[in-house]
Amino acid sequence: MSEPAVLATVEDGIGTITMNRPGARNALNQDMRAGLDEAVRQMRDDAGVHAVILTGAGGAFCSGGDISAMLDASRTGLAFRNGMRQLHQWFPELVNLEKPVIAAVDGPAFGAGMSLALAADFIVATRSARFSAVFGRIGLVPDLGMLHLLPRMVGLQKAKELVFSARTVAAEEARQLGLVYGIVADGNELRAAALQLAQRFGDASTAAIGMAKNLLNQSFETDARTLAELEAYAQSLARSSAYHQDAVQRFAGKQPLRFDWDRAP
């Protein structure tokens, strides 16, 4: 019996989603799409999960769409459109997951694999990680949210250059562009680095971070007045939380706060 295309585990409040087709460099096929859908919803609905790591098995993050599926000449345009629409039903669940998401990238993050990395809040990469909006090499348009996410991270002109050229971006350039948060030497250090980053959110208010993330993800399309109204509603919920009340009492009593990024190990 073959292993699942996606593995989902939870340990000490940290969820890990692993794309698990190493023989195909974790190319995105139908089984993996269904597995990612299920795994993202599992992490969303588990109140004990405060951060999520998205990674790939076998020295690759995700090499993009499964080319073998593209060789099926019998698949009609409408059938392909329906498949794309199914992708767009679960992918926003990942982008808007109200918990910090860390993509741990080793090897290629090409095409849809790059889109999956961009869906995370932070990308930690090895020095051998590579990114490419590879679609143009085979006459396709970027998909899986890349046209929305990429220009917001690197600016419109640079996004056009990366999409039009379909060139490969090494880890260091990706960091300079603002795509990558941190770089480690190799795959042996990658899991530890992603885990360390995820653990730093362990004592934070998951609810407050989640609401802030939700609003930040809408900030480019929302006018200032509407965003201020949404901000007010979110702040009202945050102020009524047990987490906030405990923090106020700690502050008043001159006790250390539970969450202090600057003093974290």
Taking the domains of the chain in order of start, what are their residue ranges? 6-199, 206-263
In the block, residue with structure tokens 């849809």? 112
pTM > 0.85: yes or no = yes
Kindly state the percentage of the chain with pLDDT values over 90.
87
Checking if the pLDDT of 65 tops 90, the result is no
- C-alpha 7 chain-centroid distance: 16
What does pLDDT average to over the chain? Answer: 94
Q: What is the pLDDT of residues 204-259, one digit of tens each?
A: 999 999 999 999 999 999 999 999 999 999 999 999 999 999 999 999 999 999 99
User: Do the bridges between strand 122-126 and strand 51-56 make them parallel or antiparallel, or are there none, so unpaired?
Assistant: unpaired
Contacts of 6 (CB under 8 A, 6+ apart): 17, 18, 19, 20, 31, 32, 35, 36, 38, 39
- pLDDT at residue 90, as a whole number: 87
Helices (H), the chain: 30-45, 67-70, 77-95, 112-118, 146-154, 156-165, 171-177, 187-199, 206-218, 224-239, 242-252
Q: Compute and round to an integer the Cα radius of gyration of the chain.
A: 19
Kindly state the percentage of the chain with pLDDT values over 70.
95
CATH class of 6-199: alpha beta
Q: What is the pLDDT of residues 71-88, one digit of tens each?
A: 666 666 777 677 777 777
- C-alpha 142 chain-centroid distance: 17
Q: How many CB atoms lie within 10 A of CB 158?
A: 14
Measured between alpha carbons, how far is residue 92 from residues 53, 180, 234 in Å?
Answer: 17, 21, 20
- pLDDT at residue 263, as a whole number: 84
Architecture of domain 206-263 in CATH? Answer: Orthogonal Bundle (1.10)
CA distance linking residue 25 with residue 8, whole number of Å = 18
